[in-house]
Amino acid sequence: MNAFRNVKLGINIDHIATLRQARLGDFPKPWMAARAAELGGADGITVHLREDRRHIQDFDLRQIKRVINVPMNLEMALSADIIKIALWLQPEKVCIVPEKRRELTTEGGLNVIGAQKALRRAIPQFQEKGIEVSLFIDPVRRQIEAAHRLGVEAVELHTGTYANAKGERRKRELRRITHSAQLAHKLGLKVHAGHGLDYQNVRAIAFIPAVQELNIGHSIIGHSVFVGLKSAVREMKRRVTDSRKSPRGSSPKSSR
Residue 158: active-site member: no
Catalytic residue among 15, 55, 192, 195: 195
Q: How far apart are CA 62 and CA 156, in angstroms?
A: 24
Identify any residues that bridge with 48 across adjacent strands, giving them in sequence order: 75
Query: Per the residue annotation, which of 75, 99, 173, 235 is the catalytic one?
Result: 75
Report how far residue 199's alpha carbon sits from residue 252's, in angstroms, rounded to the nearest whole number.
Answer: 10
254: which DSSP letter? -
CA-wise closest residue to 154 among 114, 118, 110? 110
- Catalytic annotation, pick one of 15, 48, 55, 223: 48
148 is catalytic: no
Contacts of 183 (CB under 8 A, 6+ apart): 141, 144, 145
For 56, 144, 256, the CA distances from 96, given in Å and listed in that order, are 16, 14, 35
Known catalytic membership, residue 92: no
Catalytic residues: 48, 75, 195
